[in-house]
Chain A
């Protein structure tokens, strides 16, 4: 998920540049003429456009239930409006909400510090390894887990590290003390973080490897001629060249910091309990769809969306301050 967001800025930059060009180029006829001229073209594109608008924008209207005492049997049109009562979680001291918020923020910080730099290290290792074929084989292996669903990843982790998993079977057979991590509330964050690294660290190297391959080789040559050894070249050329990308990715991560893996966590909530595992997304699910507290769940979701958009915009501002391009340009 975070990877697709990484790839956004460039695609967008390309498109905005070219559509701007097109706009100043030609402008044929009136709106109506163009409509009739393009009707076949529009017919081809319309199903996709309708699906996009219907499932991305129409649901926004449903947020109105955040201001209602919504009950499924009444429906949106009948439900009475109750003002801001559903937003009482913001000031009313709702312990489960605060717990979910706290867990979300802690997980975000842990994942930013521990998960985020791993792809950079892996990419540096890969790019400095001699032997193209070996490198390609390792890449193929390391990218693969990205394409598995969280259900599969969680199942694999259970089979490896669970109480009856491979590791503990091995430890028992050799008379060693067992190691429990699955289903232990105190180690839940460690588990989540390890899984995130296992699944996506390899995939995350792609963007760094692409950036490393873009670095001008003449810089390395000049540095080598001046007597810089490979460590100094890494320190003075490779890392500074990747600084911009690193800051950009970090800022994107910041803009995404309220999302910490719904599927991954909901699958593993059972054994560890809500105190350790509830995050904002699972709170909305558990209280809204499961618990029937529709209005407040929608309220939390709405606040989360607004804050999320604010974070993306703020993160972009930050990117511009750092002289980077950000997700979109000014």
Chain B
């Protein structure tokens, strides 16, 4: 944003009211009621996070005072014992590394495959673009079903293999359509002049299309990353060995099903912190990456990339 634009934006923001002349002054009582209704919704969203965070930092004393339940305030001193315990090696640490790896590799491959396919389909005169596009649209409308997908993964010898968490979800058809629509919006003159200068399709893609599509690449990349990080279903059916579990399965076992976390699970036998604070620490670790990327996703909404796709 240039300084001029910034000044303009601030100018509109500092204006006291955007209310058009014909609109009556908002009824203060009604505004307060609406605000309270929305505030309650927002508190209902935030409260669980806050409580989980507080409990993960609470020491044994504070938890005992709360009869072993959740707390809203971690006590006088923040205790990092729960984090130290679950991150000291063992099942949680391993799952964290696995999830980060799958998310990282998966997002890069997904983005490359999606951008490549979208690019092929966006060049209107390209070979076979039409039938492939129909296949993509069909893939948006239905999914092949649990048993057949499982049999295919089994047939490909991918069971209990991390690739089973990446390859079946490598290309999301809807993302292809969004990206293709974005590529088609790029001015045709750019392509023509590059082609006249002798640029190959690959050069046009890497030197013109991708640099102009940073926003859409960022948004779709973040969506893929969130999906890989959150993936539970595929991990549940394809990954059998506990040593290969990603975070989602660790969460299910230790936090949802509340299997107790023993010293041998986390590789530190001496003086375990309370179960509850370790569970909450695992939960915080699983939520944290989403919280970190969320503002970036938000920023791109604000820019209207996704809204634009919604409105068409």
Q: Residues on A close to B: CB < 8 A?
A: 4, 6-8, 10-15, 18-19, 21-23, 25-28, 31, 34-35, 37-38, 40-42, 44-49, 51-63, 65, 72, 76, 122, 125-126, 128-130, 132, 134, 136, 138, 140-145, 147-152, 154-160, 164-166, 168-169, 172-173, 198, 202, 206-207, 210, 214, 217, 220-221, 224-225, 229-230, 262-263, 266-267, 270, 281, 284-285, 288-289, 294, 297-298, 301-302, 304-305, 308-309, 312, 327-328
**What is the distance, in angstroms, from B208's C-beta to the closest C-beta of chain A?**
14
Also in contact, A298 and B31, with CB within 8 A (given A8-B140, A13-B312)? no
Residues on B facing A (Cβ under 8 Å): 13, 18-20, 22-24, 26-27, 31, 34-35, 37-39, 41-42, 44-49, 51-52, 55, 66-70, 72, 112-114, 116-121, 123-130, 132-133, 135-152, 154, 167-171, 173-174, 176-178, 180-181, 184, 200-202, 205, 226, 229-233, 236-237, 248, 251-252, 255-257, 280, 283, 286-287, 290, 294, 297-298, 301-302, 306-307, 309-312
On whether the beta carbons of B48 and A298 are closer than 8 Å, the reply is no
Give chain B residues whose Cβ lies under 8 Å from the Cβ of A8. 140, 174, 177
**Given contacts A138-B42, A168-B69, A206-B310, are A294 and B147 in contact (CB under 8 A)?**
yes
> Apart from A262-B233, A284-B147, what are 15 other A-B pairs with CB-CB below 8 Å?
A8-B140, A14-B184, A14-B312, A21-B124, A59-B148, A134-B35, A151-B251, A155-B256, A156-B283, A160-B48, A166-B69, A217-B20, A230-B27, A288-B147, A301-B145
Q: In the bound complex, do residue B309 and residue A7 qualify as a contact, i.e. CB atoms below 8 Å apart? A: yes
Q: Within the complex, what minimum Cβ distance (angstroms) separates B234 from chain A? A: 10
Are B147 and A289 in touch, CB under 8 angstroms? Answer: yes
A144 touches B294 (CB 8 A): yes
Q: Find the A residue at minimum CB distance from B18.
A: A132
Inter-chain CA distance A288–B176, complex, in Å, is: 32
- Nearest-Cβ distance from residue B120 to partner chain A, whole angstroms: 3
Minimum distance in angstroms from A90 CB to a CB of chain B? 17
How far, in whole Å, are A183 and B251 apart by their CA atoms in the complex? 18
Structural contact, B232 and A150, CB atoms closer than 8 A: yes
Chain A binding surface SS class: helix
CA distance A327 to B145 in the complex (A): 21
Nearest B-chain residue to A166, judged by Cβ: B70
Contacts of B252 in A (CB 8 A): 151, 267
Q: Give the docked Cα–Cα distance between A297 and B169 (Å).
A: 22
Provide the bound-state CA to CA distance between A169 and B68, in Å: 8
Across the interface, A230 reaches (CB within 8 A) one of B24, B130, B248, B280, namely B24
